[in-house]
Amino acid sequence: MKTISILVILALFAITTNAQEEKSYKTEKVWRVNFLNPALELELPTGNYSTFSAAFGIGYGGGYPDLTSGANGIIYIIAPFVDLQQKFCFIPGQYITIKKELDGLEIRRAYSICSSKESNAIRIGVKAVERGTFSVFATTELKVGDVLEVSPPEGRFILIPNTENHKNYLAFAAGSGITPVLSMIKSVLESESKSNFVLVYGNKSPDEAMFKKEIDTLRSKYHDQFSVYYTYTKANEEDALFGRIDKSTVNYVVKNKHKEVQFDDFFLCGPEEMINIVKADLLDKGFSKENIHLELFSSTVDVPKNEEKLEGETLVTILLDDEEISFSMDREKSILEATLAKGLDAPYSCQGGICSSCLAQIKDGKAVMDKNTILTDEEVEDGLILTCQAHPITDKITIDYDAV
């Protein structure tokens, strides 16, 4: 079966705008845009999300880069336009959050941007996941005229390209963890002519490898700068490794194939177990923790029990969108859970401590987190918390979402 790549054009590249036709409302404003053929009304809520009425193009096979060679997929393209140009400017490695109501339930999903900084477009890859609410909807039901709410790019797993850089980068990615890394790779190859990038990419088989054709094309085009090592757990392939990414994989790349290279930065993205193994091995090899950047795409480690006794209630003050709201909450609940229960539109996405969408800063009081794989010790000392993982432990606490 051929791969179907669906392009959802949320705002096109070469749009002639007629932005003077602006109408103001209490909660939103509507711009009418000359959108190639019929005009498109682009709704811009005043909150954290921008709502796009989408137009679609569908390409089969070679029309657009396939996500895989054997699975349905969808690609979103958002081209920043007019006053959204700065708002939707991104750094390679960042993600957007899509918000959509399905069957009366609000769904939020974070998707890493896989386009390059130079492309002037935001592109994400969505691979259908069994029992995945939004991914199944996006790859089977999304149609012309559907509305998606999209947050501006965010995230702390980043690579900032610089034309003057002369660096050696090494990335370990598994499964859909390739998406932010692909943005980094393309951005480096397009803007850092003196830098080199090595990718180790793990999957079950070549058919399961998202963007494999695009990666192979980049390897051919930038063969002097870009090296790729595929590893598969369920397929023996020529010129590929077999098995999961582990210490032996790190040794093969760092101590064998590129033993003469001094790597400057490492980027790890994928399942938590893989990240923990690779990070520990790199640290054992003497590489600096500051140069090892990571982002989890799934968590397999059980959440530890809090040593703190989470009993009683706390008076919480939330600072959000320049407003201040106070209420009492049960300490057993997370701060995000209690905030959402009060009807506040606090930012969040995964609710599992994997992304950083729910990041906030404690201005007064104290909290403990069930899990933290994102924030450094210094950032925690500065009061930063993942509100989906945080529980108050003082009688009063002030949480500032606007500060971050």
Rg (CA), the chain: 22
Whether residue 379 is contained in a domain is answered as yes
For 290-346, the pLDDT digits (tens) are: 999 999 876 554 545 555 678 899 999 999 988 999 999 999 999 999 999 998 988
Burial label for 200, CB within 10 Å (0-12, 13-18, 19+), is buried
For the chain, what is the mean pLDDT? 77
> What is the C-alpha separation between 317 and 302, in angstroms, rounded?
30
> What is the C-alpha separation between 101 and 86, in angstroms, rounded?
27
Residue 243 in 3-state DSSP? coil
How confident is the model at residue 261, as a pLDDT? 96
Cβ atoms 360, 280 nearer than 8 A: no
Q: Provide the β-strand partners of residue 294.
A: 268
Whether residue 227 is contained in a domain is answered as yes
Q: Same structural domain for residues 69 and 193?
A: no
> What is the C-alpha separation between 361 and 26, in angstroms, rounded?
29
How confident is the model at residue 68, as a pLDDT? 44
> What is the C-alpha separation between 16 and 183, in angstroms, rounded?
27
Q: Residue type for 340, please?
A: L
Of the listed ranges 29-33, 163-167, 305-309, the one predicted with least confidence: 29-33
Q: Same structural domain for residues 335 and 284?
A: no
How confident is the model at residue 77, as a pLDDT? 43
How confident is the model at residue 135, as a pLDDT? 80
Q: Same structural domain for residues 204 and 274?
A: yes
Number of domains in the chain: 3
CATH number at residue 329: 3.10.20.30
Instruction: State the helix-helix crossing angle for 178-191 and 212-221, rounded to 10 degrees.
Output: 20
Of the listed ranges 82-86, 190-194, 242-246, the one predicted with least confidence: 82-86
How confident is the model at residue 97, as a pLDDT? 85
Select from 298, 331, 349 the last residue of a domain: 298
How confident is the model at residue 185, as a pLDDT? 98
> What is the C-alpha separation between 41 and 37, in angstroms, rounded?
13
Q: What is the mean pLDDT of residues 384-398?
A: 95
Q: What is the mean pLDDT of residues 236-259?
A: 95
Q: What percent of the chain has pLDDT over 70?
A: 75
Q: Same structural domain for residues 369 and 346?
A: yes
61: alpha, beta or left? (left if phi > 0; alpha if psi -120 to 50): left
Cβ atoms 335, 372 nearer than 8 A: no
Q: What is the mean pLDDT of residues 220-227?
A: 97
Q: Same structural domain for residues 280 and 331?
A: no
> What is the C-alpha separation between 358 and 352, in angstroms, rounded?
10
Query: Bigger pLDDT: 218 or 15?
Result: 218
How confident is the model at residue 321, as a pLDDT? 87
User: Chain centroid to CA 374: how far?
Assistant: 13
> What is the C-alpha separation between 253 and 248, in angstroms, rounded?
9
Select from 95, 121, 150 the last residue of a domain: 150
* Residues in CB range of 280: below 8 A, 6 or more apart: none
* Residues in CB range of 321: below 8 A, 6 or more apart: 47, 48, 345, 401, 402
Of the listed ranges 41-45, 165-169, 290-294, the one predicted with least confidence: 41-45
Neighbours of 245 (CB within 10 A): 26
Supply 125's token pair. Answer: 């890859």
Query: Bigger pLDDT: 150 or 244?
Result: 244
How confident is the model at residue 351, as a pLDDT? 80
Whether residue 79 is contained in a domain is answered as yes
Select from 85, 116, 150 the last residue of a domain: 150
Cα–Cα distances in angstroms (integers) from residue 194 to residues 116, 133, 140, 158, 353, in the given order: 17, 43, 43, 19, 36
> What is the C-alpha separation between 396 and 186, in angstroms, rounded?
47
> What is the C-alpha separation between 389 and 355, in angstroms, rounded?
11
* Residues in CB range of 294: below 8 A, 6 or more apart: 157, 267, 268, 269, 275, 279, 373
With a cut of 80, say whether residue 202 has pLDDT above it: yes
Q: What is the mean pLDDT of residues 249-278?
A: 95
Q: What percent of the chain has pLDDT over 90?
A: 49
How confident is the model at residue 73, as a pLDDT? 42
Q: Which range of residues forms the domain containing residue 201? A: 168-298
Q: Same structural domain for residues 206 and 134?
A: no
Q: Same structural domain for residues 291 and 318?
A: no
With a cut of 60, say whether residue 108 has pLDDT above it: yes
For 6-16, the pLDDT digits (tens) are: 233 333 222 22
Q: Same structural domain for residues 21 and 138?
A: yes
For 127-141, the pLDDT digits (tens) are: 777 777 888 887 777
How confident is the model at residue 41, as a pLDDT? 30
Query: Bigger pLDDT: 379 or 130?
Result: 379
Q: Same structural domain for residues 235 and 333?
A: no
Residue 71 in 3-state DSSP? coil
Cβ atoms 265, 167 nearer than 8 A: yes
Query: Bigger pLDDT: 223 or 73?
Result: 223
CATH number at residue 107: 2.40.30.10
